[in-house]
Structure 1
Amino acid sequence: MDLTYIDKHLIPGEAVTYQTKLHWHVMFWHVTFGVISMLAGIAILTGAWSSKHGKGDSSGVMIWLGLLCFAIAAYLVVFGVLKRRATEIAVTNKRVIVKVGLATRRTIELLLPRIESISVEEPALGRVLGYGTVTIRGTGGTPEVFQNIYHPLEFREQVQKQIEGERRSG
């Protein structure tokens, strides 16, 4: 079993209480254009096959163009899926931890006692589909903005629950 970034970086006495991820719609355009590119590749390869069996002489170029469409389709779909899977978002009994990226990584770790406010913005479509933007402001005043969070109101509630638990125990 592979440990996630969050699992590997828990401090002693820390436990994950809630995890979420990016909403699936972050992959939507990648997958949509990937499917369109794949269909274009099929059409081009079908045309190349037809011209090879007909009078056309451009079948070699069309085959390469069709294969290029397939390569673009694969890239788009893989990029979209990796973008979502490479993001980890967790609330622990001590911190909020966010890791974004695979090749280049950005991590944010906010201690619960240092969080001053947490706000949620949900566009109309986000309310229907269950995604939104969460902004956490720490004692330093710098806001940390996390877009396309799956169930942002639940995320905020879990952070607030842990902050309240921290205050009671501390």
Structure 2
Amino acid sequence: MASPHPTATPVRRKRAVVDASGCGYEARDVWTLSFHSEKRWSDAAVVTYLERALRPGETVIYRAQLTPFIYANGLFAAAFAVPVFVFGMSLPDAASEAPFLMAAAPLFIGVVLLVGAFVARVTTEIAVTDQRIILKRGLVRRDTVEMNVGKVESVDIRQSVLGRIFNFGTVLVRGTGAGLAPLRYVEDPLALRSAITN
């Protein structure tokens, strides 16, 4: 987590200084300290798309994000490489590289799933404003969907046992004539529903 305390960064600025004759000015490089908040900078980076999508006078009421639980499949697959490696070592006639080759497959699958989950969590933005619901997905291929709050007919939530324990679930937003695609692995789905319906 970024530190909420301001940090100082050296910044080189040009400053006009009177020359020795008193008749002219020269520009000199002057190093100064620029104070900024790391947390504020990181928040601004996250909401870049949302800030550009906001209309004049539109206010953000709630922002949702995907739960860290989306990393579970990748972690499980990567961890499965350990017993596979141990099993390979226990084979009596196995070649020296056999355990590594056997463990490489689940480890590779785990890494791919973890990278995919990380990209999905970082690039997904879900926001509720006083006018619209805004959904943005994707890094290279961007998928954006918007719905006016006044057209929302119902908001349903689906939670498994694990979802109730770790506070995540799927949110289904239905509107007049259409609806948003299911929002899966949403963190604190009840809070999102309250922001949409209230």
Q: Aligned equivalents of 2:77 and 2:103: distance in 1? A: 16
Provide the identity percentage.
Answer: 30
TM-score (norm 1): 0.70
Residue 124 (structure 1) aligned to one of 135, 155, 161: 161
Q: Aligned equivalents of 2:110 and 2:164: distance in 1? A: 30
Runs of at least 4 residues of structure 1 off by over 4 A? 39-43, 61-73
- Secondary structure of 1:147's aligned partner: strand
Letter in 1 for 2:194: E
Q: Aligned equivalents of 1:8 and 1:40: distance in 2? A: 48
CA offset at residue 99 of structure 1? Answer: 1.1
TM-score (norm 2): 0.61
Residue 143 (structure 1) aligned to one of 165, 170, 179: 179
RMSD: 2.9
Determine whether 1:13 maps to 2:57. yes
User: Which one has the bigger helix percentage?
Assistant: 1
Q: Deviations over 1:42-91 (max 9, x none)?
A: 87xxx8xxxxxxxxxx76x6699499666555433222222222211111
Deviates more, 1:70-79 or 1:131-140: 70-79
Q: Aligned equivalents of 1:119 and 1:73: distance in 2? A: 32
Name which one, 1 or 2, has greater alpha-carbon Rg.
Answer: 2
Determine whether 1:80 maps to 2:80. no
**How many residues are paired up?**
149
Contact map agreement 2:71 2:113 (CA 8 A) in 1: no
Any gaps of 5 or more consecutive residues in structure 2? 1-40, 90-94
Letter in 1 for 2:160: P
Higher relative contact order (CA 8 A, sep 6+): 1
User: Which one has the bigger strand percentage?
Assistant: 2
| TM alignment of 1:1-170, pairs within 5 A | 1=41, 2=45, 3-37=47-81, 39=82, 65=101, 73-140=110-177, 142-144=178-180, 145-161=182-198
Q: Aligned equivalents of 2:60 and 2:114: distance in 1? A: 30
Q: Aligned equivalents of 1:103 and 1:67: distance in 2? A: 31
Letter in 2 for 1:29: N
